Amino acid sequence: MSSTSLARLGAALLVATCSLRAAAPGVDPNLMDRSVSPAVDFYRYANGAFDKQPIPADRSSNGVNLEIDDRNRAILRDIIETCAKDDAAAPGTPAQRIRDFYRSGMDEAAIEKAGVMPLDPLFQVVAGIRDPRTLAQALGRLHAMGVGAGFSFGVEQDPKASRSHLASFVQGGLGLPEREFYFRDDAVTRDQRAAYQAHVARMLELAGAKPAAAKAAAARVLALETRLAEVSRKLVDLRDPERNYNKLDRKALAALTPGFPWEAFLAEVGMPAGERWVDVGQPEFFKGLGKLARTVPVKDWQAYLRFHVLSTYANYLGKDLDAEDFDFYGRKLTGTQVQRERWERVLGMVDYGIGEDLGQLYVKRAFSPQAKAKVQEIVKFHLEALRQSIQRATWMGEATKKQAYRKLETLNPKVGYPDVWRDYRPMGIKPQVYVLNVMAARAFEHRRAMAKLGHPVDPGEWNMSPQTNNAYYNPSLNEIVLPAGILQPPFFDEKADDASNYGLLSSTIGHELLHGFDDQGSLFDADGNLRNWWTPEDRKAYEAQTDAVVRQYDAYEPFPGIHIQGRQTLGENLADIGGLKIAFEAWKLATAGKPQPDVDGLTAEQRFFIGFAQSWRTNMRPELERYKVQSDVHCPERWRVLGTVSALPEFQRVFQIPASSRKATDASFTLW
């Protein structure tokens, strides 16, 4: 699936506002259902009252994240609408860019009048395809404008030389979420494929094709994408960093795909001639792509690329194309009934395009120096808890422990916002039709990525804006990044007790920290290089325990006959379990010697675990939950709670869970 399609689908996956009263700081007893035994269903015990909350029509789920997102959006809306009224904003300033970008997105009359005309230069590129060389040139020009068709291309840190940049090729180019959507033979997936083909036809028709021609073209698009999917790796196979790293020079790249002129593509995307090396993630995919470039008729490639141009920019065009795009990716795939309000969708695009412009203004309102200092202190206790856990690990030898300590000591936690703000002045945001500003943002991001080649990695760069309600671990920089947008109530509240804050933040701080030691992150060393730092005996002991976690999650069956895929979700499950365990120990370190009184009939230890469960409270449409089970590396939220606590002896002790309640498949997690 193209990065554009992923972003669009990600927008459709947003959860919705909780309609309960404003939550109290930290753990909220009003969300609980104490009639449920924590030994039977801990998720319902912690969140049973919330389970009754409906899902609004413009959302695919309803949960804790939009309690945070709504708070953030209210702040951002005030910022963006204040800027939109500022006619005196100086050119080249954040206020000017925010003003012009937002105004263009809200000017629906100008958008309707322009129609698809702003895409004509891209359509002309597609129409000019005659042979593999012009196909390669067209793909390069489209990638440079943010249309990730055919495959994914970008710039990454070299996994085995982490201070250098490397051009990267990865399988992609699909309009459905991932390869299995093209091959699963159940009734739901067959219906989704048929709906997708009808969607492609409708999009092409709305852009000017005759109905019969659009229908025929849609069949060719689905056929070509199916052939791309045939040579694509499964999602679980994409989780192996070593297998998905294949460094080739440009001559070897050409030899991999005879007849496909990569130099023509590289020239169009602006890759410097002196850059010799590329990373080809899945060589068999690109070998297959080369064959398709030689054998698939030009008219099929043209139909495919015309659709992907439309699909990339549909949300920024007239109401008919926008509505059709939502009808498939929102309503059909995730069950969302209506679109979000226009201001909210435009705000999302401005955030994507010039997120650090917004971020400079956001953090002044939403993240105090005191909050940053408190989170940094919490991180410090997590690091110490993990160090002590490594020290206690009887299964790990001293040689491996030495490397693990070094990785922990060099880990860089980034909290809140970057030290240096990104300069968007070259982007060229100005008063013009909305889609042209979107195209300018995508082209700027491509140029910014290409400009990294030949230059050292900037350790201060952030890959999320400060207002983002999310976090990440970057193995190549050995860093956890915690934006201010996720460090908000109820996940983090300066007024809450430590048990609540540590429990609610375990799914953020503990989780991201443990990604450095999950089945993927543990393959990278302290310097961020993909290198084995384990003794064979210790790696074998590690994998014996992670295999138990795979078996545990394989046993879960959210839908009849549809199980969670334990291997596919392993990294996230390890981060969930290990993150909660380390967060519990970090809280104990932080509060050592301090009184921990009972509150609302709950001990502090119980509130810690309830806080963790409440950090995942989510009511989800069945379409979305099914999608997550089949096509995501994360489990649905309910299972992230149930699977995590059932693996921790600490939880069993705190809630006095009898041994007879444990299932045979429950892992006993002692790695960290």
CATH number of the domain that 394 lies in?
A: 3.40.390.10
- HEC readout, 278-347: EEECCHHHHHHHHHHHHHCCHHHHHHHHHHHHHHHHHHHCCHHHHHHHHHHHHHHHHCCCCCCCHHHHHH
Residue 18 has pLDDT above 70, yes or no: no
pLDDT tens by residue, 218-268: 999 999 999 999 999 999 999 999 999 999 999 999 999 998 999 999 999
Residue 16 has pLDDT above 70, yes or no: no
Give yes or no: residues 264 and 123 share one domain.
Answer: yes
Instruction: Please indicate, yes or no, if residue 94 is contained in any of the structural domains.
Output: no
CA distance 369 to 266: 45
pLDDT at 22: 38
Instruction: Please indicate, yes or no, if residue 443 is contained in any of the structural domains.
Output: no
Give yes or no: residues 264 and 383 share one domain.
Answer: no
What mean pLDDT, rounded, does the chain reach?
Answer: 93
Residue 78 has pLDDT above 70, yes or no: yes
Give yes or no: residues 522 and 581 share one domain.
Answer: yes
* More confident site: 6 or 79: 79
pLDDT at 9: 42
Closest Cα to residue 330, out of 54, 1, 7, 11?
A: 11
Give yes or no: residues 327 and 404 share one domain.
Answer: no
Give yes or no: residues 229 and 284 share one domain.
Answer: yes
Q: Model confidence at 66, in pLDDT bands (50, 70, 90)?
A: confident
Give yes or no: residues 561 and 632 share one domain.
Answer: yes
Q: Model confidence at 665, in pLDDT bands (50, 70, 90)?
A: low
Residue 270: give the domain boundaries: 117-339
Last residue of a domain, which of 339, 358, 384?
A: 339
> Could you tell me the sign of the dihedral formed by the alpha carbons of 100, 101, 103, 104, in that order?
positive
Give yes or no: residues 334 and 382 share one domain.
Answer: no
Q: Cβ atoms within 10 A of the Cβ of 89, count?
A: 17
pLDDT at 315: 97
Half-sphere exposure (Cβ direction) of 283: Cα atoms closer than 13 Å = 14
Give yes or no: residues 123 and 45 share one domain.
Answer: no
Last residue of a domain, which of 284, 319, 339?
A: 339
Instruction: Please indicate, yes or no, if residue 413 is contained in any of the structural domains.
Output: yes
Instruction: Please indicate, yes or no, if residue 112 is contained in any of the structural domains.
Output: no
Mean pLDDT of 183-205: 97
Give yes or no: residues 319 and 381 share one domain.
Answer: no
Instruction: Please indicate, yes or no, if residue 154 is contained in any of the structural domains.
Output: yes
Half-sphere exposure (Cβ direction) of 430: Cα atoms closer than 13 Å = 6
Give yes or no: residues 293 and 406 share one domain.
Answer: no
CATH number of the domain that 180 lies in?
A: 1.10.1380.10
Start-to-end C-alpha separation, the chain: 35
Give yes or no: residues 308 and 379 share one domain.
Answer: no
Instruction: Please indicate, yes or no, if residue 7 is contained in any of the structural domains.
Output: no
Give yes or no: residues 648 and 594 share one domain.
Answer: yes
| Helical packing angle, 369-392 and 570-590, nearest 10° | 100
CB–CB of 59/15 below 8 Å?
Answer: yes
CA angle 300, 302, 308 (to 5 degrees): 105
Instruction: Please indicate, yes or no, if residue 430 is contained in any of the structural domains.
Output: no
Domain count, the chain: 2
pLDDT at 658: 86
Q: Model confidence at 10, in pLDDT bands (50, 70, 90)?
A: very low
Helical segments of 85-209, H only: 94-106, 108-114, 120-127, 132-144, 187-206
Determine what percent of the chain is predicted with pLDDT higher than 70.
96
Last residue of a domain, which of 319, 339, 359?
A: 339
pLDDT tens by residue, 162-193: 999 999 999 999 999 999 999 999 999 999 99
Scored b (16 or more CB within 10 A) or e, 264-275 reads bbbebbebeeeb
pLDDT tens by residue, 272-319: 999 999 999 999 999 999 999 999 999 999 999 999 999 999 999 999
Q: Cβ atoms within 10 A of the Cβ of 381, count?
A: 22
Q: Model confidence at 671, in pLDDT bands (50, 70, 90)?
A: confident
pLDDT at 662: 72
Residue 661 has pLDDT above 90, yes or no: no
Tokens of 241: 């960093």
Instruction: Please indicate, yes or no, if residue 96 is contained in any of the structural domains.
Output: no
Mean pLDDT of 448-470: 97
pLDDT at 659: 79
Closest Cα to residue 8, out of 113, 189, 148, 190?
A: 148
Residue 7 has pLDDT above 70, yes or no: no
Residue 12 has pLDDT above 70, yes or no: no
Residue 663 has pLDDT above 90, yes or no: no
pLDDT at 666: 66
Residue 19 has pLDDT above 70, yes or no: no
